[in-house]
Amino acid sequence: MSRLDWQQATVTAIRPETPRVKTFTLALPAFTPHLAGQHYDLRLTAEGGYQAERSYSVASPPEQTGEIELTVELIADGEVSGYLFEGVAVGDLLAVRGPIGGYFVWPGAAGAAPLLLVGGGSGVVPLMAMLRHRQRVGLRVPALLLLVVRTPEDAIYHAELEAMAQADPAFTLVLSYTRQAPAGWAGYQRRPDAPMLAEVLARLPPSPQCYVCGPTGLVETVANTLQASGLPPTAILTERFGPTGR
């Protein structure tokens, strides 16, 4: 079976991440190992034959075999995300195909360059797969995640990321809130800009490999600023989505 053939995956778990984000665990009859950063296509078919497809990044690490986790944000008027949130239960079947994508991936290996990850909102999903992969294989390559969210309740995987940072001195979690910060917050409260990114880069060894994922405006700003700071374009990989998400 080709990875581009559709297969019927079984929903084995549904986990709320935030009020507008859920993670769906899907058991695959024909599992193909993925690379951290790849995605799956998901297809819904209505009774009348109408079909809708969306692509969702895999949140689980490659080491989690036999199943994948897709973290989905509920989009206003989103026909696919809306159905997943309201109409899908454990035990249901969903048509998926993948893994897909070979550009925005982090293979992760001993001796890899330092890792700078910048995620805006649900753009953290493929980055989380990279961090989970790094953790599973015991890599201690220096890594930093700059997570940009509107409010505290929008921070996907926050508890897991905090625990990861506390347990691993080589991993740093940096948060920036663009609308409302927690009470007493002394960290960043704005969208990424040149001073912020310069401070973040200073916390990593030189010549990091950068992965940036999120809304188009954020991704373009971060990528252009990193390049202006002296990083080569080949060291900055991006993945973006528009106002309605993917």
Q: Which residues contact 175 (CB under 8 A, 6 or more apart)?
A: 146, 147, 148, 149, 155, 187, 188
% of residues, the chain, pLDDT over 90? 89
pLDDT for res 242: 56
pLDDT for res 243: 45
Of 46, 75, 100, which residue constitutes the final position of a domain? 100
Asked if residues 18 and 149 have their Cβ atoms less than 8 Å apart, the reply is no
Of 53, 77, 100, which residue constitutes the final position of a domain? 100
Decide if 174 is inside a domain.
Answer: yes
Q: Does 120 share its domain with 210?
A: yes
Domain encompassing residue 189: 115-241
Q: Does 94 share its domain with 131?
A: no
Put simply, whether the predicted model's pTM sits higher than 0.85 gets the answer: yes
Of 52, 70, 100, which residue constitutes the final position of a domain? 100
Q: At 219, phi and psi to the nearest 5? A: -60, -45
Q: Does 48 share its domain with 129?
A: no
Q: Does 62 share its domain with 124?
A: no
Q: Does 96 share its domain with 120?
A: no
pLDDT for res 198: 98
Decide if 74 is inside a domain.
Answer: yes
Q: Which residues of the chain carry a pLDDT beneath 70? A: 242-246
Q: What is the pLDDT of residues 40-59, one digit of tens each?
A: 999 999 888 889 999 999 99
- The domain total for the chain is 2
Determine how many CB atoms are found less than 10 A away from the CB of residue 162. 13
Report the Cα–Cα distance between both ends of the chain, in Å, rounded.
26
Decide if 108 is inside a domain.
Answer: no
Asked if residues 171 and 163 have their Cβ atoms less than 8 Å apart, the reply is no
Decide if 201 is inside a domain.
Answer: yes
Decide if 106 is inside a domain.
Answer: no
